[in-house]
Structure 1
Amino acid sequence: MQFIDQAEVEVIAGDGGDGMVAFRREKYVPAGGPAGGNGGPGGSIYLRATPQLQTLLDFRFAHRFKAKHGQRGGPKNMTGAAGADLYLEVPCGTAVYNVETDELLGDLVEAEDLLCVAQGGKGGLGNRHFLSNRNRAPEHALPGLPGETCHLRLELKLLAEVGIVGLPNAGKSTLIAALSAARPKIADYPFTTLVPNLGVVRRPTGDGTVFADIPGLIQGAHLGLGLGHEFLRHIERTRVLLHVVDATAEHPIDNFHTIQQELAAYGRTLSDRPQVVALNKVDALTPQVLAELIDQFKAQVPGPVYGISAVAGIGVEPMLQHLWTVLDRTKATTTAALAEPAQVI
């Protein structure tokens, strides 16, 4: 399956049906009067979030969607049939923007979240609505109103609580494969991972936490270099960042700061997220070199620094225990903020 996380579509709601001009022509109803019915409303277009989809692949080749028009009003005061609404399913985590104004129209996060993106036109009034003492036989009706048309940009932002970031070949994919059932492609050359990988990591309580391996972060990622510009949006929803650094690299400290600068340059509070730093591939270092490296990191990095080996499983469990603590703390802070009563000014 192709991973498509951006798409542009045009949605066109249905037009309302025209009102009708008609009169009663019944044998025993003298001066029956106007009896033209209203037109039916046009169909609206909705986006609905579903957990059954993981990508915007359905919108790769289909870019234009139209709802049905309302039907014209009928005689004997009959209202025309309404146009059927059109429901388009998108993955959970889809943000919807108006292309012309760049306005965020909605964020479909939970399953069955619904967003109306194009409202159907109202049906026109039949001539019965124009009956008055001065006009006993109105011979005009109103046309239906056109439905809304909107050019949308859909952006999928993965729903993960922990985002794994780091330079290419730091061992992010190896780590998520070791922690979960995810099986990303792993090789010893840069940019092996071309799409984000999701994996569910089981906690001691039995609950599952979703980790996202974000590929392609290099210096200049926020400007579009590498793959980072395409996938940085996927860590916008994460609560905690797991920063994986290749301990065998020539300049691990510089590599760490490179990613920090990219997160800060991208904005959207990414650099303010709680982070857990993991020095990976420590099984290739001597204990003395590792101790010196950890001391160097602790002098520049707030919080603990963990030496791990995703391949050998060294140091992974203590790192996870700290990660759960940080994650629980962020959840508690969020819950307390939501529970705090709003001030009345």
Structure 2
Amino acid sequence: MANETGKTDGALGDDWAAMLEAEAGGADDVDRVLNQDEIDSLLGFDSSAASNVELTGVRALINSALVSYERLPMLEIAFDRLVRLTTTTLRNFTSDNVEVTLESISSVRFGDYLNSIPLPAILSVIKAEEWDNFGLLTVDSALIYSMIDVLLGGRRGSSVIRVEGRPYTTIEMALARRMIEHILDDMHKAFEPLAPVNFKLDRLETNPRFAAISRPGNAAILVELRIDMDDRGGKIEIMLPYATIEPIREQLLQMYMGEKFGRDPIWEGHLATEIHAADTEISAVLHELDLPLSKALSLAEGDTIMFDMTPSDPVTLRCGEVDLTRAVMGHIGKNVSVRVTRPLNPPKVTMAAFEAMEEKAEGK
């Protein structure tokens, strides 16, 4: 029995050894380390692919809800100007120290934005009449109660205003409407150098479901403004769908140096002053006559050239090669003078000619 048991134990040991070796080989296959190319393929990162290739893997899942923000330089300048205008307007409106700051400009999907609005809030549906489309201007409850507190003479305190679970009263809605109308008027002034547009308040809503002005998946520009009045304040969010600003997209893509929108009145005044003080040489041309070169070379002392002119005929006033006007000759004392008899000739070169030259240069 002892021998048989020993043989049996040896056979079992061999079987266990074979099983352990098989499992070790399988573990080597399972625990194989992925290389960098396999990791990039799994996550959706491909360094060799172009930037416009469709995303795959985990990266596609992460970026599915994101919207790439198209940089619009003139849009940022317009909202910077809105900040300055709104600061002055709200200071006059509240007779208090108001500071307006631009917190961020980002791209969102319209549906995600509606779901992220903290309630209670006032959602004002605004219409850009010239662009024939809509936008949203959201005022949070903290700013509404702070503005009401300032306008109605409330005490200044550091305590946070408690937001009750009640709808806004008629007085609160009326004061909020006045503030929103002032901001829309400033938006009209901020966008006026780019394109004439009037922002009109269409309606006020407190339920985001009734402020659906676009499809949930459409992209939009979200601008966040922070308004502080000493120890009180809140946020205003301006949401403009890309479809709303599409009519002026070309203007928004332009880039100007500085904060001016093309025309600079200070520079224009300086240029006009310098031009007015510049020295200009004007020639009075009595008459012009074409002669053959052989006759001009054969002229000698005593020869007479007949001009088809009389003393009363007008002369031409010329600056360089440009004829300015006509004048009559005379004299004042011992000096020869001319008297202008008609207005200056209109310039032959117009802004259209300059624009045509610029387009031709760009085409080359």
Q: TM-score per shorter chain, which class?
A: under 0.3
Q: Which has the larger radius of gyration?
A: 2
Q: TM-score, normalised by structure 2?
A: 0.21
Q: TM-score, normalised by structure 1?
A: 0.22
Which structure is higher in helix share?
A: 2
